[in-house]
Structure 1
Amino acid sequence: MCLYGRLPRIPALDVPPASGGVGGTGAVAPKMLARVRALLAKAESTGFPEEAEALSAKAQHLMARHSIDAALLAARGGVPGDGPGARRIGVDRPYEGAKALLLDAVAAANRCQAVWSAEHGFCTVVGHAPDLDAVELLYTSLLVQADRALHTGRTNRSRDFRESFLIAYASRIRERLTAATAAEESADPAPDLLLPALASRALAVEDTTRRLFPATTTSRLRARDAEGWQHGESAADRATLHERTNRRR
């Protein structure tokens, strides 16, 4: 009981679970998720960058189209839109700060917001159901690709090298995801309806995040190894990140 009393308090996620399915605005349909997972698994395992990029791009298209369709459908009043939900995603040691930075980059590009609870070992991601699914899938895939790139070649890398690698990787991934998000949104044939719908959803996510976490602080990470930074940026440029990147922070 004494140990229990010293445990840190985990805030309750008092948000209604997102509902939905095929044709709705909630969680991604199981069949679509299965297709996306299969595409990303092939992208992670293939030794041919061109093939991996094509597979990831296909996965991105599936998830992007689902999210945009859900936003447009809710905006037109065809189906009531679900409010934002929240999901906890584990951030394992070591280099948990850099990994949380990567998750924040993926969440921001997918119109979600991430709050890192370092003492608990997880991030809470707030967003709409299709976006939360995309964040979890893409973050997991990018971690696998980062780990593979980090352990390619020399194995006796220093801690500073590895941490700098992951920080640079996350920073460059953020740039690529942001650019892909803008490109996907600008290609939609109904921007006059889409952009206000996305802005409304983003505002709802921000309001929910503030309600769940009224007091947050900003954490800064510092890269100390120039070679690790360069290798991290190169790995991010090679990463097949397009599970679905048409999201706004």
Structure 2
Amino acid sequence: MSTSSTVDRAFRAALYATTDDALDAGASLLAVDPAADAELARRGEEFVATAWRRGWQPADVVRIVRRELEDVHLRLVTGLIHAQAPHDRPRGPRWTAQLDALGEPGTAPPPRTDRFSHATAVLELYRLLLRLPALEPLDEAAAEAAGAAGPDARDRRPESRMLGRIRALLAKAEATGFPEEAEALTAKAQELMARHSVDEALLAVRAHAATVPGACRIGVEAPYEQTKAVLLDEIADANHCRAVWNEPLGFSTVVGFDADLEAVELLYTSLLVQAGTAMTKAEAAQKRVGRKRTKTFRQSFLAAYAHRVGARLAAAAEGRTSGLSDDLLPVLASRDVAVTERLDRLFPETTTTRLRGVSDVAGWEEGARAADNAQVEARRRLG
């Protein structure tokens, strides 16, 4: 019997059924035929390549595997992604960064296990990959942007030192135990983000570059994913981006120009950390005075935090544009139009959702107070 025949029989038994008995039958076939291992791995690389054709990206696949399965499956899919990468076409710097974030292949040895258990894990992973729905193909937008910018675009846009400064400021804001210091550090980081965005817009104009918006997916993880999605939406709006939340798959797609996408990712990650720290302190204070706080308190806290931070970001954005020169305002306006058009092409139909579970007054008040401490207005206008 050929190795391909063994794999085909195992797949017929296990991949298109959902019962444990079917999974056991497929795993048994693979476990007794070590010669089929190479073919089984090759089929896995094909599943990964199919996921790319259906609009998924490395970070998306890793995120869904982490959410739906276990660590062993995460190690397996990481290995498959690394193995498939040399056979893939070039997909741009954001894709490369996602591959780099997986770490070097083979750095962590897999746990010792029997062949049946290994085959079971492989089939469970392949079941998930087989059932991935089609997503919007974001790498096509990235390829279009790269083509519009020209072959020397990467030389014009080296890794910015300013991004390193922004990351360092936000890391300090997350680590400090003093709200006023966190406020000052976050405000400075937002100021640098604004300057970075304006600089990129000016660079595109001066170089006569026909740049187009890109897009990225940002994980919006449980718990309290709805309020986290609201926070991300507020941050995106204030930074000339637009966000669409996919609740079933646990991410939001953010559309915008590269510098603004970087700002949204950095600020969202940092404010989530700051909000979590503030919420823990607020809950401890509530418990000290004998008040029990539950999921409703935390949901209300995060909702107020998102609402207040969004208002402050919007005010800061308005202050920045009022200080810009008249010749730059039409450029920024045209970029906003381009972002909206890209969003409409990616998502011709969207719906709104109502925020649920926001009924705890104390949680709302504490969340608003925490957002005040994490204010992000720039302290001087950009001109």
Give the TM bin, normalised by the shorter chain.
Answer: 0.7 to 0.9
**Are 1:55 and 2:189 matched, yes or no?**
no
Q: Match for residue 16 of structure 1?
A: 142
1:198 and 2:328 aligned? no
Structure 1 pair 241–57 and aligned structure 2 pair: CA distance change class (3 A): closer
Hey, what does 2:295 align to over in structure 1? 159
Q: What do the CA deviations read for 1:33-89 (whole angstroms, capped 9, x no partner)?
A: 1111111111111223333233223222222112112223333x4341421000000
Checking the alignment, whether the CA contact within 8 Å between 1:167 and 1:229 is kept in structure 2 is yes
For the pair shown, the structure with the greater C-alpha radius of gyration is 2
Distance (Å, rounded) in 1 between the aligned partners of 2:376 and 2:268:
9
Pairs aligned (count): 239
Sequence identity of aligned pairs in percent? 54
Partner of 1:65: 195
Q: Distance in 1 between matches of 2:365 and 2:155?
A: 43
Runs of at least 5 residues in structure 1 that lack an aligned partner in the other structure: none
With over 3 angstroms needed to count, the CA separation of the structure-2 counterparts of 1:66 and 1:168, relative to structure 1, is same
SS class of match (1:15): helix
- Which residue in 1 is equivalent to 2:254? 125
Secondary structure at the residue paired with 1:126?
Answer: strand
Structure having the higher helix fraction is 2
Tell me which of the two structures has the higher relative contact order, counting C-alpha pairs closer than 8 angstroms and 6 or more residues apart.
1
Kindly tell me: are residues 84 and 102 of structure 1, through their superposed partners in 2, closer, same or farther at Cα, counting changes over 3 Å?
same
What does residue range 47-126 of structure 1 map to in structure 2 within 5 Å?
47-75=177-205, 77-126=206-255
Q: Which runs of 5+ in 2 are unaligned?
A: 1-14, 17-126, 147-152, 285-291
Q: Which amino acid aligns with 2:312?
A: R
**Cα offset, 1:187, TM superposition:** 1.8
Tell me the alpha carbon deviations over residues 188-220 of structure 1, each in whole angstroms, 9 at most, x when there is no partner: 2x1x21211111001000000011111110111
In structure 1, C-alpha distance between the alignment counterparts of 2:353 and 2:378, rounded to whole Å: 27
SS in 1 for 2:281: coil
Which aligned pairs between 1:132-151 and structure 2 lie closer than 5 A? Answer: 132-151=261-280
- Counterpart Cα distance in 2 of 1:21 and 1:157: 51
**Is the Cα–Cα contact under 8 Å of residues 236 and 242 in structure 2 kept in the other structure?**
yes
TM-score with structure 2 length normalisation? 0.58
Superposed, which structure 2 residues align to 1:172-211 within 5 Å?
172-188=308-324, 190=325, 192-211=326-345
Preserved contact between residue 43 and residue 240 of structure 1 (Cα < 8 Å)? no
The equivalences for 1:215-226 within 5 A come to: 215-222=349-356, 223-226=358-361
Residue 339 of structure 2 is aligned to residue 213 of structure 1? no
How far off its partner does 1:243 sit? 8.7
CA distance in structure 2 between the aligned counterparts of 1:234 and 1:89, rounded to whole angstroms: 26
Deviates more, 1:196-205 or 1:1-10: 1-10
Instruction: Tell me the residue number matched to 1:170.
Output: 306
Question: Which of the residues 237, 242, 245 maps onto 2:372?
Answer: 237
